[in-house]
Structure 1
Amino acid sequence: MDAHEWDQRYQEQELVWGVEPNRFVVEVVADLPPGRALDVAAGEGRNAVWLAEQGWQVTASDFSAVAVERGKRIARERGVEVEWLCADARNPAPRREGYDLVLLSYLQLPPDDWRRVLTEAVRAMAPGGRLVSIGHALDNLIHGVGGPQDPKVLHIPEDIAFAVTEIAAAEGFAVRVERAEQVTREVATDDGPRTAIDSLVVVHRSS
């Protein structure tokens, strides 16, 4: 879907993704000291706003102008500051600064676009920072529920961890993979609760 199609989707439904942060974002970030965070393809800002509430200085970007305006409104209503950018994750980052946390949450793209996003995300990490990637896993296509049905855009955690390590090496620094695994979450469906399978990767840049 392009930006126009996402604009339409956001216009047709209030809070497409809800207001609560993703459970795996909370799990990974809860014990980290607040710093500077970049939320790429942030949607309506559920993770960005939560991060700001935890004391993070957050920059959130999305290519849907409707999502960005909604994210700004939610941040105001919750009394937190979030810097919002209307930007396409597939293009070079508007700014390449050192972030203590770079978040890629359910950004499902074809391989070439995804590699470009990963490259920009790795470059955006500050020394000592972390990159967190959460997405619908390839195994979800057969064994899970929901999410995209195109295997080309689904995630394999070990492949993402390898790509991040390779990109970092090309940029001249080392990273340590803290997590690269499949995780599950319960999803309510018309047929009752089902289990969705996600990919979770956490990579720590050396200081």
Structure 2
Amino acid sequence: MRTSFVFLFVAGMGLLAAQTQRNPAARWDQIYLNQDAKVPVNPSTLVLETTANLKPGAALDVGMGNGRNSIYLARKGWKVTGVDISPAAVKQASQEAAKLKVEFDARAGDIERMDLGRDRYDLILCMYIHMVPIKNARKLIEALKPGGLLIVEGHHADVQSLGLRPVSGGPPGYMTNQLVRAFERLRILRYEDRTMQAEWSNGPEGKAPIVRLVARKE
């Protein structure tokens, strides 16, 4: 009986793993519901640096996670829409915003199935959501207002060759200059490709090959 139970348990765990691989929302729910997961809670350094002197406007945070950047921007006066594929992450973001008495529009959904409109946002964030910006480059560009900024940060694909595990599903990260090519219609203000302290990383001492892009719609 004990052997049968162990077999059924292992088989069940294997089925769960297969299901979460096919269902990204479930996979990210597991991460955000895991109290031991090293999920970033502070606003991104790149977001802090880039928005420090910007006049608040309308912002879209794609893959907002627990709302660390959305809440920061909302507290600075931005009108923020945060979208994430994980309902668990959206719930955490909403609860934290309520605790801090901050208002922003938190939505659970897949950005690839959403209508982002045209000339709607002054700022769009895409932080550690590999390939989502690449697949939706045209949609993101159209959603930016003239003069609007796009901020992207994520792992370089080299994390795989170095034996590091990226946090997002699918490809391990961006190839060199892949973001520059995808957003060539924008004016590239900043592009970095270097090993540095990572916000999401399983590398030694938290360091990993990171790609950063800041671009403006003319």
2:152 pairs with one of 133, 136, 139:
133
Q: In structure 2, how many angstroms separate the alpha carbons of the residues matched to 1:191 and 1:65?
A: 28
Deviations along 1:49-74, one digit per CA (max 9) or x if unpaired, are 11111221110001111111111111
- Give SS of 1:181's match: strand
2:190 pairs with one of 158, 175, 179:
179
Q: In structure 2, how many angstroms separate the alpha carbons of the residues matched to 1:88 and 1:15?
A: 23
- How far is the alpha carbon of 1:95 from its aligned partner? 4.6
% same residue: 30
Structure 2 equivalent of residue 87 of structure 1: 109
Q: In structure 1, how many angstroms separate the alpha carbons of the residues matched to 2:106 and 2:168?
A: 30
Q: Which of the pair is proportionally richer in strand?
A: 1
- Give SS of 1:119's match: helix
Counterpart code for 2:188: V
Unaligned runs of 5+ in 2: 1-20
- How far is the alpha carbon of 1:120 from its aligned partner? 1.9
- Give SS of 1:90's match: helix
Does the CA-based 8 Å contact 2:187-2:215 persist in structure 1? yes
Structure having the higher Rg: 2
Task: Tell me whether 56-65 or 118-127 shows the greater mean CA deviation.
Answer: 118-127
Cα pair distance change 1:152/1:127, threshold 3 Å: same
Does the CA-based 8 Å contact 1:62-1:87 persist in structure 2? yes
Task: Tell me whether 136-145 or 118-127 shows the greater mean CA deviation.
Answer: 136-145
Q: In structure 2, how many angstroms separate the alpha carbons of the residues matched to 1:163 and 1:187?
A: 23
Structure 2 equivalent of residue 163 of structure 1: 182
Structure 2 equivalent of residue 202 of structure 1: 214
Is structure 2 residue 140 aligned with structure 1 residue 121?
A: yes
Matches within 5 A, 1:1-207: 1=21, 2-13=24-35, 17-93=39-115, 95-96=117-118, 98-109=120-131, 114-142=133-161, 145-148=164-167, 152-156=171-175, 158-165=177-184, 168=185, 175-186=186-197, 193-206=205-218
TM-score normalised to structure 2 length: 0.77
Unaligned runs of 5+ in 1: 169-174
- How far is the alpha carbon of 1:143 from its aligned partner? 5.3
Q: In structure 2, how many angstroms separate the alpha carbons of the residues matched to 1:116 and 1:8?
A: 25
Equivalent residue pairs, number:
195
Cα pair distance change 1:76/1:183, threshold 3 Å: farther
Q: In structure 1, how many angstroms separate the alpha carbons of the residues matched to 2:62 and 2:53?
A: 21
